[in-house]
Homo-oligomer: A and B are copies of this chain.
Amino acid sequence: MEQIAENRCFGGRQLRYRHPSGTLGCEMVFAVYLPPQAEAGPVPVLYWLSGLTCTDENFVTKAGAQRYAAEHGIAIVAPDTSPRGEGVADDPDGAYDFGLGAGFYVNATQAPYAAHYRMYDYVVDELPALVEAALPLDSGRRAISGHSMGGHGALTIALKNPGRYQSVSAFSPICSPLNCPWGEKALSGYLGDDRSTWRDYDATDLVGRAQEQLPVLVDQGEADDFLVEQLKPELLVTASEAAGYPITIRMQPGYDHSYYFIASFIGEHLAFHAANL
């Protein structure tokens, strides 16, 4: 991996790297914040998954998370949201909610997407192996979080790999891709029409059959324009109650889907992860 940017931030280092990804078959860019504590030795690491249309930069520039990461001594790794570059198939109409910037953290099985769209394997395996070997990160203390499509990614990845993460949180997650337009478009495109294959990428479905639990925190703005049609936290609430899986889901009055919402509560999410790491 090649370092392409560095900025001092809250006494630590905001870094950006480029690397060839074998999993995705293209060059990828990701961001890492190393808190001051990383100068002295390995620190725990939070993986942050962004939402539709984002790159590795949105969270890093807009969330203000570095302050809390420096306070708690937690590194943050923020990957891009899809494979990129020439030869990587996009939405046929160039829509924002499929293809580039919209990998949905799945391993695609359908042509032409299966060739590159393997964001699940990239986030779970390739990226952690890469950064945890190269940087002072403690691979025994991982957390994962994300926003919207990235909240869906964080929840599904953690629910399927409870041993790999100490805690998971999400802002405004797509709680059930099986039951919303964004999810139906993405999962049919990447996985095909057999909806039984979608279940492994549906947090609501996964909660109902989880064998092992980890701490889960979800924040959802009540003024979010996508709440009713796309996000549907009530499905996750019902499923977690039915399964006896304790999930803290907080409805936040007045907050919308923007980074202003994330910025307002990312400090509490970092504190939540710090308590579990």
Contact = CB atoms under 8 A, between A and B. Distances in A.
Interface of A: 7-11, 14, 61-62, 64, 66-67, 221, 223, 254-256, 258-261, 263-264, 267
Nearest to A12: B264
Contact of A8 (B11, B66, B256, B267): B256
A8 B263 contact: no
Looking at chain A's contact residues, the main secondary structure is: mixed
Contacts of A264: 8-11, 66-67
B7 A256 contact: yes
Nearest to A14: B260
Contacts of A7: 256, 258, 260-261
Given A7-B258, A61-B61, A66-B264, 11 more contacts: A7-B256, A7-B261, A8-B221, A8-B254, A8-B255, A8-B264, A10-B263, A62-B62, A64-B64, A66-B263, A67-B267
A258 B14 CA distance: 11
Residue among A8, A254, A256, A261 with max Cβ neighbours from chain B (10 Å) = A8
A48 B67 CA distance: 21
A227 to B, nearest CB: 14
Contacts of A11: 264
A259 B61 contact: yes
A260 B223 contact: no
Contacts of A255: 8
